[in-house]
């Protein structure tokens, strides 16, 4: 084929493409002009009522053993708009598509609802984001953007699960938080459960991929203001390991007792000393982020002393102390809350739900074979993700 013919063909194609681009741009401008005419108040929502319609963002997921990676995804999703709706997949669908969930649908929805960046929860959503369901999100819930982490999310037939919102320009991607996942936590719980059953468990040989930066802590603190001078500060302290609905309940109760909830997240060494060498499941920085993401917590003390001190009560101007555990525990032969009790500040709030790292590990162990199989599968895909990951800027 002569070179001049090839050059001519390329020039022709480039011209046609440029023409098509101009047409598309003109169509978009015409549509915008039409909207502008209706949008008399100029707020961009196409009407003239003087109020800007909030941008509604939707994120869905399983949110099993809700962790700070999920919370960070919700934080970033919320930053893509003004209102965040979260779809929580039901148990049957998770069982069918991924394997058994650790937490049931109610626990998962409650944990998501307690996250401070969430404005509403839609329960019982399908695992597969079908076109019909996406249309329902747009029409019924007024969703403007569907958001998901930058990990590939495939439908069962191998196609892109979010192809439709992407095609219509209603998809936004956020950066997945590295170093934590349900798979990773289930792995830690399997090891805790096996140790509790007296099995020899080797230390995990895995490169750490999560770093707690000061900006991450600041992001999780968000708009939380410091306590006012005359605020009634409620201090709640404990391990807050594998943050869950039991923790949410006690923080909610604490909020009712004052104006500012300060949460003491015990140091790893103290949790280990109290609960045993296999604890905690998450380290103190991870546990602190889990607490900070909760709408009922105003501030955390990272690595707080397990035993309340006079100095701590004075420094933080504490009015009430609420303990996480129903049964008071002793540190070096003394009640951990003795100082608060002596100052008449100690309040015991009954536990609404029984939950501990050990009880959740027991759930995993009850279904051990299924969780081990699921983790073996997921660990491979997570390793593949880390091998190919590229930098995506967080919003």
Q: Which residues in this chain contact ligand CTP in the complex, by CB under 6 A? A: 59, 61-64, 69-70, 73, 148-149, 151, 176-177, 180-183
Query: Of 181 and 245, which CB lies nearer to ligand CTP in the complex structure?
Result: 181
Q: C-beta of 361: minimal distance to ligand CTP in Å?
A: 17
Nearest approach, Cβ of residue 142 and ligand CTP (Å): 20
Pick 149 or 280: Cβ nearer ligand CTP:
149
The residue at minimum Cβ distance from ligand CTP is 149
Distance CA 261, CA 194 (A): 36
| CA–CA dist 353, 247 (Å, integer) | 9
Closest CB to ligand CTP among residues 39, 394: 394
| Cα–Cα distance, 102 to 365 (Å, whole number) | 10
Q: How far is the CB of 66 from ligand CTP (least distance, A)?
A: 8
Residue 279: CB minimum distance to ligand CTP, A: 21
Q: Which is nearer to ligand CTP, 166 or 274 (CB)?
A: 166
Q: In this structure, are strands 120-125 and 233-238 parallel, antiparallel, or unpaired?
A: unpaired
380 CB contacts (<8 Å, ≥6 apart)? Answer: none
- Which regions of the chain does DSSP assign to beta strands (E)? 56-61, 83-89, 120-125, 145-149, 171-174, 233-238, 260-266, 299-304, 318-323, 330-331, 334-335, 346-347
Q: Which is nearer to ligand CTP, 165 or 264 (CB)?
A: 165
Residue 110 and residue 296 in contact, taking contact as beta carbons nearer than 8 Å: no
Residue 384, CB half-sphere, CA atoms under 13 Å: how many?
8
**How far apart are CB 64 and ligand CTP at their closest, in Å?**
6
Shorter beta-carbon distance to ligand CTP: residue 99 or 305: 99
What lies within 8 Å, CB to CB, of 83 at 6+ separation is: 54, 55, 56, 57, 119, 120
Shortest distance in whole angstroms from residue 151 CB to ligand CTP:
5
């Amino acid at each position: 084929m002569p070179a001049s013919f090839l050059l001519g063909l390329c020039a022709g194609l480039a011209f046609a493409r440029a023409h098509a681009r101009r047409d598309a741009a003109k169509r978009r401008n015409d549509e915008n002009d039409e909207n502008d005419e209706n949008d008399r108040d100029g707020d961009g929502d196409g009407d003239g009522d003087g109020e800007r319609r909030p941008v509604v963002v939707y994120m869905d997921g399983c949110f099993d053993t809700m962790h700070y990676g999920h919370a960070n995804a919700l934080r970033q999703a919320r930053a893509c708009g003004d209102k965040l709706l979260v779809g929580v997949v039901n148990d049957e669908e998770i069982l069918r598509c991924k394997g058994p969930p650790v937490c049931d649908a109610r626990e998962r929805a409650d944990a998501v609802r307690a996250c401070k960046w969430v404005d509403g929860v839609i329960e019982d959503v399908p695992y597969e984001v079908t076109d019909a369901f996406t249309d329902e999100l747009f029409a019924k819930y007024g969703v403007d953007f569907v958001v998901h982490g930058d990990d590939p999310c495939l439908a069962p037939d191998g196609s892109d699960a979010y192809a439709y919102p992407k095609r219509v320009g209603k998809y936004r991607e956020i950066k997945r938080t590295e170093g934590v996942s349900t798979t990773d936590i289930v792995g830690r719980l399997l090891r805790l459960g096996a140790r509790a059953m007296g099995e020899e468990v080797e230390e995990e040989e895995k490169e750490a991929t999560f770093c707690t930066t000061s900006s991450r802590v600041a992001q999780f603190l968000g708009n939380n203001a410091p306590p006012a001078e005359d605020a009634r500060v409620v201090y709640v302290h404990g391990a807050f390991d594998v943050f869950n609905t039991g923790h949410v309940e006690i923080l909610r109760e604490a909020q009712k007792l004052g104006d500012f909830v300060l949460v003491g997240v015990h140091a790893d060494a103290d949790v280990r000393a109290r609960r045993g060498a296999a604890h905690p499941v998450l380290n103190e920085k991870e546990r602190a982020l889990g607490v900070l993401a909760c709408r009922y917590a105003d501030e955390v003390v990272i690595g707080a002393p397990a035993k309340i001190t006079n100095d701590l009560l004075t420094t933080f101007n504490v009015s009430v102390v609420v303990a996480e555990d129903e049964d008071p525990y002793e540190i070096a032969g003394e009640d951990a809350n003795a100082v608060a009790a002596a100052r008449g500040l100690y309040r015991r709030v009954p536990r609404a739900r029984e939950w501990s790292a050990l009880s959740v590990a027991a759930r995993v162990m009850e279904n051990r074979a299924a969780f081990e199989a699921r983790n073996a599968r997921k660990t491979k895909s997570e390793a593949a993700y880390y091998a190919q990951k590229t930098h995506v800027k967080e919003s």
